[in-house]
Amino acid sequence: MEILTNQSVFQYNTFGIDVKTKYLASFKNIEELKELLQSPLIQEEKKLIIGGGSNVLFTKNYEGVILVNKITGIDIVEENEEHVLVKVGAGENWHEFVMWSINNQYAGIENLSLIPGSVGASPMQNIGAYGVEIKDVFHQLEAVEIKTGNTQVFNHKECAFGYRESVFKNVLKDQFVITSVTYKLNKKPVYNISYGAIKQQLEENNVEDLSIKEVANAVIQIRQSKLPDPQKIGNAGSFFKNPIVSQAKFEELKQKFPEIAHYLLPDSTVKLAAGWLIDNLGWKGKRVNNHGVHSKQALVLVNYGGSSGEDIYNLSEDIIASVKEAYGVELEREVNIY
Ligand code: FAD
Ligand code: NAP
């Protein structure tokens, strides 16, 4: 395990930001991780765990250690007629794990196809798409505490999952390294195709016999048609979360904006589509120098090449201010800022 100094983070973040980190190292198993955490050179430095770098924005050089998680392995640890418990190394690629589960006929994560990044980051913000969130299939995870090097198991309740949230994104932020995640997948699929454009895409594909593979294919097609490929245009997916407002606030907004995109939630609050709020103010497709708002999805900020994280952050500030002024709603960033 080599600890490198003064390295560019360019290849470790999908936004394509080219700043430096004071130290950089990677680990392939828990023993290597613990050894790194005890290394005198970096013991006192602040630490950041990186998987695929698809949900981070670096606004300046990182004055600490970036540890890249490369723990692999997919193991079935328990099985019955209905379910299978699969323990997955945190450094496995998320989409490749989804494909593995589909090839093995295990259902539950097909709607989460083509989300970039690592398995270890999936509980971090309770990744979600098309009406499914990781919390729906989560069993438990193992994590190493950075300060003590102790291993701890977190069950569902202890992760405190919320909308694009978990305990690791707030109270315990940057305090634990998630080393494996165990998911409970179904042997008998329960399809969730009512969300977004899935049904329409399945019809276009002339699907007669529904299967998890067909659902995954539909999700992949929709995503490829709408979202910028980070290999071609730097981005970190949705930059902002969808705001949730009270019924009273929603009624007030509906008077002024009858077309406002919204979804009633079970607790009677209302989720507003942040993409609609931003698009309605004319931001979609707007380009400032080498960065801007994606032309097909106003929630996604993009780096066309060579922009700084600070520039992109400043654009997000402008969007937040403009949304606040127009609707009186405070947008929250989904992307982790460093
Ligand atoms: P990173 O960017 O490496 O890290 C993100 C955060 O998690 C950081 O704070 C990091 O320190 C922490 N972290 C990472 N790994 C660990 C670990 N092992 N232990 C502790 N902390 C860790 N997200 C969705 O929810 N739904 C989507 O549909 C979706 N679509 C996307 C589409 C595109 C094109 C892109 C670029 C992003 C999208 N995202 C989506 C965001 C992103 O893919 C997810 O948040 C993903 O889980 C990030 O994984 P990562 O390994 O790249 O995390
Ligand atoms: P979309 O289908 O055009 O829908 C726009 C918004 O409306 C989404 O944000 C979604 O909220 C919400 N929505 C749609 N149908 C809904 C329903 N039946 N009930 C409740 N809310 C509904 O969105 P899209 O941009 O193409 O994205 C499709 C899915 O992929 C969404 O779930 C989105 O969250 C996910 N995605 C996430 C990221 C990311 O980086 N986080 C990036 C791309 C796509 P939700 O976002 O709450 O689901």
pLDDT in tens, 67-99: 999 999 999 999 999 999 999 999 999 999 999
125 CB under 6 A from ligand 1? yes
Which residues have a catalytic role annotated?
Answer: 164, 238, 334
**Ligand 1 atom, smallest distance to 90 CA:** 18
The pLDDT, as a whole number, for residue 1 is 77
The answer to whether the 74-186 and 234-337 domains have the same CATH topology is: no
Question: Ligand 1 atom 45: the closest Cα is on which residue?
Answer: 55
Question: Ligand 2 atom 29: the closest Cα is on which residue?
Answer: 129
- Is pLDDT above 80 for 111? yes
- Over residues 58-63, the mean pLDDT reads 98
The pLDDT, as a whole number, for residue 256 is 97
For strands 62-69 and 47-50, give the pairing.
parallel
Report the Cα–Cα distance between both ends of the chain, in Å, rounded: 25
Q: In the chain, where are the structural domains located?
A: 4-69, 74-186, 234-337
| Contact present, 38 and 148 (Cβ < 8 Å) | no
Report residue 102 CA to chain centroid gap.
Answer: 20
CA angle at 161 for the pair 160 and 164, rounded to the nearest 5°: 140
CA of 133 to the centre of ligand 1 (A): 13
Q: Percent of the chain beyond pLDDT 70?
A: 100
The pLDDT, as a whole number, for residue 196 is 79
Q: What are phi and psi of 213, to 5 degrees?
A: -65, -40
**Ligand 2 atom, smallest distance to 238 CA:** 40
- Over residues 131-143, the mean pLDDT reads 97
- Over residues 221-242, the mean pLDDT reads 96
Which CATH code is given to the segment(s) 4-69? 3.30.43.10
Distance set, CA 119 to CA 71, 111, 131, 199 (Å): 10, 15, 19, 27
CA of 279 to the centre of ligand 2 (A): 15
234 CB under 6 A from ligand 1? no
CA of 23 to the centre of ligand 2 (A): 36
pLDDT in tens, 6-47: 999 999 999 999 999 999 999 999 999 999 999 999 999 999
| Tokens of residue 50, six digits | 């990186």
Q: How far apart are CA 156 and CA 197, in angstroms?
A: 30
Q: What are phi and psi of 114, to 5 degrees?
A: 65, 15
Distance set, CA 319 to CA 97, 168, 333 (Å): 35, 27, 11
Which has the closest alpha carbon to 174: 47, 71, 63? 47
- Over residues 176-200, the mean pLDDT reads 95
The pLDDT, as a whole number, for residue 239 is 98
Torsion sign over Cα 330, 318, 332, 272: positive
| Contact present, 72 and 28 (Cβ < 8 Å) | yes
Torsion sign over Cα 163, 167, 171, 173: negative
Average pLDDT value for the chain: 97
The pLDDT, as a whole number, for residue 324 is 98
Question: Per CATH, the architecture of 74-186 is what?
Answer: 2-Layer Sandwich (3.30)
pLDDT in tens, 277-331: 999 999 999 999 999 999 999 999 999 999 999 999 999 999 999 999 999 999 9
Q: How far apart are CA 66 and CA 80, in angstroms?
A: 40
Q: How far apart are CA 135 and CA 198, in angstroms?
A: 21
Q: How far apart are CA 211 and CA 205, in angstroms?
A: 13
Annotation: CATH topology of 234-337:
3.90.78
